[in-house]
Amino acid sequence: MTKLSVNINKVATLRNARGGNNPDVVQTAQDCERFGAQGITVHPRPDERHIRYQDVLDLQKVVTTEFNIEGKPNARFMELVSQVKPTQATLVPDAEDVLTSDTGWDTIKHESYLTDIIQKLKSQGIRTSIFINPEEKFIEGAAKVGTDRIEFYTGPYAQQYGQNKEQAVEVYARCAKLATNLGLGLNAGHDLDLNNLRYLKEQIPNLQEVSIGHALICDALYYGLENTIQMYLRELQ
């Protein structure tokens, strides 16, 4: 079964909009786990507009499933990850002013940089994953830099799903086979929801983890958090 890691950034966004500690990010993470989530994902950004660096330290004390920290591996991010030692660090090539992650690594251009970062993380026992577009050359580059896993950027899949789902998933399925042949584990994330998740899972049966935040939290407004998590889990079975 593909694991569901709930990204709780949007919970922090709601909290920060009003100040105080409502909703409580730490309690939400614990509830997500209690409701069946197999992982918690956070993506602290330099401006701390949603998850704050202190949130990550607080979550470290309570998360009992897989803890996944995403972000651009600048000095502050690397210091945080080295201190927390999560289950997984997902490296994302975000510009500092980007609204949301919108592309993956050029693993050819950044081969030396990524190799160095990944070696540092793996030496601390931290599983590594890199955010990547579904292109064969970047998959091959990912294998060269030594990452444990790749996380497919699934924004284009989600955008095309309604028009032609077979065409939308074809490149992902092809790249998934290549990645598996190269010994890479497979994660996926971005714009996955209750409409398009099951089909992606069917076409990539060896998908190990999906990270879902925005859509899941939006659905929870209507269905409730516990019920929503169970709905997503059913799509992955």
Residue-level pLDDT at 96: 64
214 is a catalytic site residue: no
Q: Which of 141, 121, 131, 59 is nearest to 98 (CA)?
A: 131
> pTM of the full predicted structure?
0.95
> Of the residues 33, 50, 66, 70, which is catalytic?
70
Give the count of alpha carbons within 13 A of 185, CB side only. Answer: 16
| The pair of three-digit structure tokens given for residue 29, joined into one six-digit string | 């993470």
Quick one: pLDDT at residue 31? 98
What is the model's pLDDT at position 158? 97
Catalytic residue among 66, 151, 190, 235: 190
> Residue 99: its pLDDT value, please?
52
Give the per-residue pLDDT at 44: 95
Q: Please state, in angstroms and rounded to a whole number, the distance separating the CA atoms of residues 206 and 102.
A: 24
| Architecture of the structural domain at 3-130+189-198+209-236 | Alpha-Beta Barrel (3.20)
Question: β-pairing, 209-212 with 149-153?
Answer: unpaired
> Is there a catalytic annotation at residue 151?
no
Task: Give the mean pLDDT per block of 10 residues along the chain (237 residues).
Answer: 96 96 98 98 93 98 98 96 98 71 86 98 98 97 98 97 98 98 98 98 97 98 98 97
